[in-house]
Amino acid sequence: MVFMRFAWRVQPRNYLLFACHATNATAQSIQEARFVNYWYNGGREKKLALEGGSEAPAPGKVTEAVIAAREDAKKVVEK
């Protein structure tokens, strides 16, 4: 908003710069609303419910290797 005011106050007025800053401010406001909705207003939980609700990683070769390495590390620490 500050930059929009600057673009309006300079002489001669720079309408193109004003429009660019207005568009940018609008886009940032929309992104902020999306962020707040996702993290603070339950959007994340709704998304997880639609996807199946699990935050656990999908089983695969990499996941199995990490789990095996973790178990090996626990065995070494317990000795």
Q: What is the pTM of this model?
A: 0.56
Q: Write down the pLDDT at residue 54.
A: 60
Q: Taking residues 39-57, report their average pLDDT.
A: 80
Q: Answer yes or no: is pLDDT of 36 > 70.
A: yes
Exposed, middle or buried: residue 3 (CB in 10 Å: 0-12, 13-18, 19+)?
A: middle
- Residue 25: CB atoms within 10 A of its CB come to 14
More confident residue, 79 or 54: 79
Q: Answer yes or no: is pLDDT of 37 > 80.
A: yes
